[in-house]
Amino acid sequence: MKKDRLEWWKVLTIILLYYTVIGGFLLPVPRLPILNESIRLFYFHFPMWCAMLLLFIVSVVSAVKYLRSGDIAADDYAAESAKVGLFFGILGLATGSLWAKATWGTFWTNDPKLNGTAIALMIYLAYFVLRGSLQDEVQRGRLSSVYNIFAFAILIPLIFILPRLTDSLHPGNGGNPGFRLFDTSHDLKLVLYTAILAFCLLGWWLTTLLLRIKTYNRLRDEIQ
């Protein structure tokens, strides 16, 4: 029964991803000055951020759970979900840079959201450096869990609070209106919500695959 439950959401993920890619390139989008067809990157850029945030939430919750219970499985969830979250964060940053080149004329600007995101991702990169530097499993789990909580606490203001308090080129930040005001025909919604769900499900799928690999490697090491 559990296997059937797993299979249907994986099929759903594939269907939603196909719809996101096809609809993202073929369905109509709002005609806005400067943005033009580059607005289609919104279907990938923003949902990747959503998947990143979801996975970082899973990671920090798992870190707290590990500190409370000492369950090694919780530490595994914290590490692997953070790993996939970082992957989506890098993809989100890359698609954002492509979008910036198309609309702002450069891959990078002195924008608080861009800089804040880069700093936040480097903080999470340091999380894996910390984990790799510790050999003892218990010590690694405790120290990295505390660091995980710190990283998430820094992530929120860097990405969601500071850009809204300062001048920012990003829509919905620094006093700039969001796309909701311009999407009067609701064309973006036809793909955007599906894309968010698709990338979040894909992120969780990748996390479960990494967890299986880690479990397999641990069992193999114990046998040897």
pLDDT at 218 (0 to 100):
81
Secondary structure letter of residue 166 according to DSSP: S
- Lowest mean pLDDT segment, chosen from 8-22, 79-93, 183-197: 183-197
Q: What pTM, to 2 d.p., does this model score? A: 0.88
pLDDT at 204 (0 to 100):
96
d(CA 170, CA 154): 20
Cβ–Cβ < 8 Å for 30, 188: yes
Q: Which helix (H) or strand (E) holds 219?
A: helix 189-223
pLDDT at 172 (0 to 100):
55
pLDDT at 184 (0 to 100):
43
Average pLDDT of the residues of the chain = 86
2 versus 47: the higher-pLDDT residue is 47
CA atoms within 13 A on the CB side of 59: 32
- Lowest mean pLDDT segment, chosen from 74-78, 94-98, 187-191: 187-191
What's the token pair of residue 155? 């992530």
Provide the number of structural domains found in the chain.
Answer: 1
- Lowest mean pLDDT segment, chosen from 34-38, 193-197, 198-202: 34-38
User: Taking 60 as the threshold, does the pLDDT of residue 9 lie above it?
Assistant: yes
Per-residue b/e over 23-39, b at no fewer than 16 CB within 10 Å? bbeeeebeeeeebeebb
User: Taking 60 as the threshold, does the pLDDT of residue 96 lie above it?
Assistant: yes
What is the extent of the structural domain holding 59? 2-223
- Main-chain phi, psi angles of 170, to 5 degrees: -70, 140
d(CA 208, CA 217): 14
